Structure 1
């Protein structure tokens, strides 16, 4: 009885091991796609092609700066004895900004005035000498005609008369030169008082009362302050050479400022540089960018415009009169709308991939050559294979699911935004297209492969 139970246990053990082996081998074959693959197909993700308005964007980062900014430098050197403004003050054109100590320039005027008076006195002396020389010349001229004096005496009196006339002219020119020097000195004296050249806000004040500054007669003078129109701000960005060709003047933009993360502001392209800014020249990391200026058209910095009416309106109704306060140097990101296509067939960008159609031609050629002899194949394989390898026929394609089969369609694309791309031909709105996975779509999926839809996203945006 014990032997019978032992043999029965062995049979059950062998049977269990056999079933486990069958299960493991079947699972491995199914995972490898040897069995069960024909009915299930390749797992893919799909969505529907749809009509959509696509706006092509060029994105760039930069900093905010005033559209109009005037650097105030002194025309004369000296000590600042009065600084009438502080940073952040709004000023009107003609307001006093800085007063430089005028003593040395006033003394210069006094010196030149005294020199002018001296020149005028000399002019009178020269005029008196001229009258005397003229009288002597006329008298000697009459005597010479009568033969009383020699020709040498006559010529000498005439030369003296001419010399006195030239001296008078020289004295007059010296007086004009002295008067010009006085006018210049008076202008320098006026330049010791510096006034605002325009309305604006004082930004970047770099001097204090009591400091000495240098004028810019021979070199760039000391930068004292800047006067900016803060209600007219712009964003200065750098755009790569590959994108600059798509940007035109007056293109509309969307501006995001780091200081206002939940808001977007409108802008417009006002300037596009013609000269490039190259970094890393001559190296593998060379970058060529072009500066683009984008004016912020959304009303901003209204409280800094100097208008009492605007300030009162903001104080009465701050919610309705929201005005962002941009400051020079703030970081901003600009999306420039370069082109818009309205209500066009579009698909997600990842749905468009590429395939080498030359490989299909090579495969077809190989199938049609099955009837050739081995000698024919060997004689032509070298040249034909080299030709096929060298020639590529890369085309853009989209895989469309129809009846559980992925059909490859060649497409022509247009503009794109951050998520979708325009399809000009090859796909119609409503077609179910493959959008993933990336590995399957970019390498593994072939024309007329059976597919199994893992998840269909018909509302992908």
Structure 2
């Protein structure tokens, strides 16, 4: 029994020794670990944040009628470029029965007053002519003649005033009935004309639609929307986490989804002082005026993205941000620079701006240095030895 146990122990020791030797041989035969390197290069680094929004005209003018009625004819359509004063539409007036009746009664009353004033004028004229003959014969005094002349002049003035009143009543009646009248030019007519020059963006009404004039109690019906499409702005929103990083006057790079391979420059000129809650997040409205140096036509309402440039460094020495390490105690950045074959030395660096991929190197390394990449790779197998 003792002999058998001894043999088993010796056999186990032998097997363990053989396995140990095989493991050591395998470790020694593994390929050595090799670290790749990268050198700094000159790049332009732009630190920016992105806002989503759309392109809209800087100013839109709503054309509204100055009288209520029904659209009789439309002379423009969306996309037309028109000048100030061009005819847009005509409105056919549908008179209000009560207003028409009241205006007609006013005319009848004015005519009665004119007739009364005419009769009074004729009476005073007869008296004046008789008093004049008597005065020339020396029958009456100059004072009595002057009184007769004054009464005649007053009767004539009253008659003229009543005629003006009749004319006003007639004009009111014409406006109520037809929407226009003689002697008022374009202040009361059925022709709707452009008040500014620009492009027609929208014509929301059609022939036969009823329209309401703009007044103190109603905004009125919009007949057309005009805008200068050469003065466009970007309107968008930024999150509350980004609004503290931006300021008015920063440059914008606008990209429009419908216009490929084209960027437009703009200047951020408005940041809303108050945020609005949207889907649980606070959003702040921003606006930027486009600097259109070319003739590319941008349609109003197109979706766009604005890259707000927070900082920019042109042609500066930079490396990939993944190559930067930080001291666990001091949190200062450093890199490892190759000094020999797979031998590296730590060098502290001073960083500048970063775009999230590349970071500016202000000092610590030069353009020709080889910086250690922390991804370990194995040496490529040498197939020439196996042949």
TM-score when normalising by structure 1: 0.55
Matched, 1:234 2:173: no
Deviation at 1:206, TM superposition (A): 1.8
Measured against aligned partners, the alpha-carbon deviations of 1:45-70 in whole angstroms (never above 9, x if no partner) come to 43222343333333223222223322
State how far apart, in whole Å, the 1-side matches of 2:373 and 2:92 are.
Answer: 76
Aligned to 1:198: 196
1:423 to 354, 361, 367: 361
Aligned to 1:269: 267
1:299 to 265, 272, 294: 294
- Superposed counterparts of 1:293-372, under 5 Å: 293-300=288-295, 324-357=296-329
Deviation at 1:398, TM superposition (A): 2.7
Structure 1 residues 205 and 78: CA distance shift in structure 2, 3 A: same
State how far apart, in whole Å, the 2-side matches of 1:24 and 1:208 are.
Answer: 90
Which ranges in structure 2 are unaligned for 5 or more consecutive residues? 1-12, 125-157, 181-187, 380-387
State how far apart, in whole Å, the 2-side matches of 1:184 and 1:434 are.
Answer: 92
Deviation at 1:227, TM superposition (A): 1.6
Aligned to 1:209: 207
Structure 1 residues 118 and 402: CA distance shift in structure 2, 3 A: same
Deviation at 1:188, TM superposition (A): 6.6
State how far apart, in whole Å, the 1-side matches of 2:239 and 2:332 are.
Answer: 25
Aligned to 1:304: none
State how far apart, in whole Å, the 1-side matches of 2:239 and 2:21 are.
Answer: 61
Deviation at 1:126, TM superposition (A): 9.6
Which ranges in structure 1 are unaligned for 5 or more consecutive residues? 1-13, 133-167, 301-323, 358-392, 438-451, 456-461
Does the aligned pair in 1 maintain the 2:40–2:366 contact within 8 Å? yes
Structure that is richer in helix per residue: 1
State how far apart, in whole Å, the 2-side matches of 1:47 and 1:401 are.
Answer: 9
Aligned to 2:337: 401
State how far apart, in whole Å, the 1-side matches of 2:235 and 2:84 are.
Answer: 27
Matched, 1:246 2:241: no
State how far apart, in whole Å, the 1-side matches of 2:269 and 2:174 are.
Answer: 40
Deviation at 1:216, TM superposition (A): 2.9
Deviation at 1:247, TM superposition (A): 4.1
Structure 1 residues 426 and 109: CA distance shift in structure 2, 3 A: farther
Matched, 1:118 2:109: yes
1:279 to 274, 277, 281: 277
Measured against aligned partners, the alpha-carbon deviations of 1:73-102 in whole angstroms (never above 9, x if no partner) come to 334332111111122222221111121113
Structure 1 residues 79 and 424: CA distance shift in structure 2, 3 A: same
Measured against aligned partners, the alpha-carbon deviations of 1:349-389 in whole angstroms (never above 9, x if no partner) come to 223344431xxxxxxxxxxxxxxxxxxxxxxxxxxxxxxxx
Aligned to 1:100: 91
- Superposed counterparts of 1:129-208, under 5 Å: 182=172, 189=180, 190=188, 192-208=190-206
SS at match of 1:332: strand
TM-score when normalising by structure 2: 0.64
Aligned length: 321
Aligned to 1:432: 370
Aligned to 1:85: 76
Deviation at 1:71, TM superposition (A): 2.4
State how far apart, in whole Å, the 1-side matches of 2:285 and 2:378 are.
Answer: 46
State how far apart, in whole Å, the 1-side matches of 2:111 and 2:326 are.
Answer: 94
State how far apart, in whole Å, the 2-side matches of 1:398 and 1:432 are.
Answer: 13
Does the aligned pair in 2 maintain the 1:49–1:345 contact within 8 Å? yes
